[in-house]
Amino acid sequence: MSTEELKKIKSNTIVDARGTACPGPLLAAKKAIGEIESGEIMEIYSSDEGTKNDIPKWCNKMTHEFLGIVEEDSYTRLFLKKA
């Protein structure tokens, strides 16, 4: 999805993992994904550079659909759709 499209998305849940280091954002995502329904959209805020590589790999393994990222000034927003 393009950045413009992603910016318009209204996420069902937002996980704010800013400030935590590996594996913080991954564990936060794992915890929060259990609280939403299949097909719903989750957004992760992370200031950890590695998360951008890790979350797509996690989505691939867990069969969630990774939608893309939006870069903000001091953090990244990562979007995914639950399988």
Partner 1 sequence: MGTELENQIADLKKQVNQLKEGTKDQLSMVVFSGDMDKILAAMIIATGAAAFDMKVKLFFTFWAISALRDPAKTGKGKNFIEKMFGMMLPKGSPKLKLSNMNMGGMGTAMIKGIMKKHKVASIEEMLKTAGELGIEINICEMSMNLMGFKKEEMIDYPNMTICGVATFLTDAAESKIQLFI
**Residues across the chain:** 83
Contact 40, 69 (CB under 8 A): no
- Specify the residue, 6 or 33, whose C-beta has the smaller distance to partner 1: 33
The pair of three-digit structure tokens given for residue 73, joined into one six-digit string = 């000034």
Alpha carbon distance 10, 51 (integer Å):
21
The question of whether 22 is a catalytic residue gets the answer: yes
| Residue 29 in the binding site for partner 1 (CB under 8 A) | yes
Contacting residue, 13, 20, 56, 65, with partner 1 by CB under 8 A: 20
Q: Which two tokens stand for residue 60?
A: 């691939």
* Residue 29 · residue 55 · CB < 8 Å: yes
Binding region for partner 1 (CB under 8 A) out of 7-15, 37-45, 56-64, 73-81:
56-64
| Residue of 22, 27, 62, 83 with catalytic role | 22
Which of residues 6 and 32 has its CB atom nearest to partner 1 in the complex?
A: 32
What residues are annotated to the active site?
22
